[in-house]
Copies of this chain bind each other. A is one copy, B any other.
Amino acid sequence: MTDGALETHLVATAERRLARYLDFLRIPSISGIPEHAGDCRRAADQLAGDLRAAGLEHVDVSETGGHPIVYADWLHAAGAPTVLLYGHYDVQPVDPLDEWQAPPFEPIVRDGRVLARGASDDKSNISIALAAAEALIATRGALPVNLRFVFEGEEESSSVHLEPWLAGNAARLAADVALVADSGFFAGNLPAITVGLRGLAAAEIHVRGPFQDVHSGVFGGAIENPINALASIIAGLKGADGRIRIPGFYDDVVPLSDAERVALAALPLDEEALRLELDVPALVGESGWTTTERRGARPTLDVNGIWGGFSGEGSKTIIPGRAHAKITCRLVADQDPDRIFAHLRDYVMQIAPPGVRVEVVSTGGGRPTLTPHDQPATRAYARALEATFGRAPLFVREGGSVPVAASFASILGLPVTVMGFMPPNGNFHAPNEWMDMANFETGIRALAAFFDEFAANPGA
């Protein structure tokens, strides 16, 4: 399905489109850091302006109680299906800042890549969707499908206001499918469709020892050390076999079928290349499962940060008053974040050593997603990817979390197709995040092709 006018238009507007994308990347819309609330609003306003300019209608920077949700639609394709396309304009924090090759909000274009925080996750997918709609409207005066854009600003901080907003706006969100545009390609930058996404349960553990830091000589030996106590709690959460030891943790995990294990085993994975890329002495994980399964089909528990006592240069011989850790579990279908948090909290309280006071606080969560391979939008998207990228996509279980994917199913009752064009090694959530500009440009064509495919085959 080639469209000469569309292609001519896209080529002619490439430079302007890149400039707009770079402007978008210059806004430090870090949702998880309160000081950046104004930047998040600025990103929303800029996005809304771009949507209006592109020909979208009913553009609305919608208040949520947190960072706003940007809504826009185009609903003149009478008789055609309606696609709700979701993305997020917020980004992860940037530290450790000194590991970036360039300031994270001063994008650099080099060797076909754009380097900046948010370059892939998720400002690439938003910019691609905007460009696809804009080009179709510009060249045809119309879209082949009805389209609703929902771009939130809190995905990187647990999407706390999205579910209430979806519930409150369900009437104006009627659609045939939710296209969750927050994913990417498989290793080797192979076209891929994400059929599984992990959920998330986040918690903080706070350990209190003495009322303040005290002398480790005067009191050492007579009281529990909060850091030692926290270490023993964390160590107790996982066995040497990589299995999580929290009672009930695995209760609701849907067993992998033999067929899916075979399908996952067929996904290309060069373990030695991955090991070298990450620069670790060995890949390790839960015994009894392959690396592919561990990354996408099995739940995990990772400490994301730990702090307590003296971390400056030199030494300070204290027993610290406090120690803290941030922990996230990645969940798989059908684990429920609230139940997992409760299991975690109960177990931490159970194994906490005497002599300290321990508190476990939930800091967010999201449900996992598991999508059928054969739903119409997924099939249409697979055909569009093959037509534009020249290769049939892989169907993968992604290790990351897009909890909102589950929200569109549970709140709006929509089938969900997860899509996106991020390069698999694009350093999202890490220093030196980057986007592949070939993926970006071809992605625009793929998404336009998907709209045509889905309009032509809405039921198969």
Q: Mark A252-289, 1 if CB is under 8 A from B, else 0.
A: 00000000000000000000001000111111111000
> Are the C-beta atoms of B216 and A330 separated by less than 8 Å?
yes
Instruction: State the majority secondary structure of interface residues on A.
Output: loop
> Are the C-beta atoms of A317 and B328 separated by less than 8 Å?
yes
Known: A225-B302, A232-B235, A314-B32. A355 touches B280 (CB 8 A): yes
> Are the C-beta atoms of A278 and B353 separated by less than 8 Å?
no
Is A390's CB within 8 Å of the partner chain B? Answer: no
Is A147's CB within 8 Å of the partner chain B? Answer: no
Which residues 215-263 in A have Cβ within 8 Å of B in the complex?
A: 215-225, 227-228, 230-238, 240
A417 cross-chain contacts in B, Cβ below 8 A: none
Binds B, one of A122-130, A134-142, A427-435: A427-435
Q: Given the complex of chains A and B, what is the CA–CA distance between A311 and B33 in angstroms?
A: 12
A34 cross-chain contacts in B, Cβ below 8 A: 313-314
Is A375's CB within 8 Å of the partner chain B? Answer: no
How many copies of this chain?
Answer: 2
> Are the C-beta atoms of B310 and A222 separated by less than 8 Å?
no
Binds B, one of A43-51, A168-176, A318-326: A318-326
Is A363's CB within 8 Å of the partner chain B? Answer: yes
Which residues 95-111 in A have Cβ within 8 Å of B in the complex?
A: 95-96, 99
A308 cross-chain contacts in B, Cβ below 8 A: 303, 305-307
Q: How many residues of A contact B (CB 8 A)?
A: 103
Report which of B225, B274, B325, B328 forms a contact with A216, defined as CB distance below 8 A.
B328
For A33, A217, A223, which residue has the most chain B Cβ atoms within 10 angstroms?
Answer: A217
> Are the C-beta atoms of A304 and B310 separated by less than 8 Å?
yes
Known: A312-B93, A313-B34. A300 touches B223 (CB 8 A): no
Q: Given the complex of chains A and B, what is the CA–CA distance between A311 and B261 in angstroms?
A: 37
> Are the C-beta atoms of A32 and B302 separated by less than 8 Å?
no
A227 cross-chain contacts in B, Cβ below 8 A: 234, 302-306, 325
> Are the C-beta atoms of B231 and A32 separated by less than 8 Å?
no
> Are the C-beta atoms of A218 and B400 separated by less than 8 Å?
yes
A339 cross-chain contacts in B, Cβ below 8 A: none
Known: A157-B315, A310-B305, A317-B401. A284 touches B223 (CB 8 A): yes
> Are the C-beta atoms of B215 and A95 separated by less than 8 Å?
no
Is A354's CB within 8 Å of the partner chain B? Answer: yes
Report which of B93, B200, B305 forms a contact with A320, defined as CB distance below 8 A.
B305
| Pairs A–B under 8 Å by Cβ, sample size 26 | A33-B313, A34-B314, A93-B310, A200-B317, A202-B317, A212-B427, A215-B399, A215-B429, A216-B302, A218-B295, A218-B398, A218-B399, A219-B399, A220-B399, A221-B399, A222-B274, A230-B306, A231-B231, A232-B238, A282-B355, A303-B308, A304-B319, A311-B326, A316-B326, A317-B328, A318-B430
| Known A221-B330, A304-B317; further 9 A-B contacts with Cβ < 8 A | A93-B316, A96-B212, A200-B317, A210-B279, A221-B298, A228-B238, A230-B306, A305-B318, A306-B311
Residue ranges of A at the interface with B (Cβ–Cβ < 8 Å): 31-34, 92-93, 95-96, 99, 157-158, 198, 200, 202, 209-225, 227-228, 230-238, 240, 274, 278-286, 291, 294-295, 298-320, 323-326, 328, 330, 353-357, 363-364, 398-401, 424, 427-432
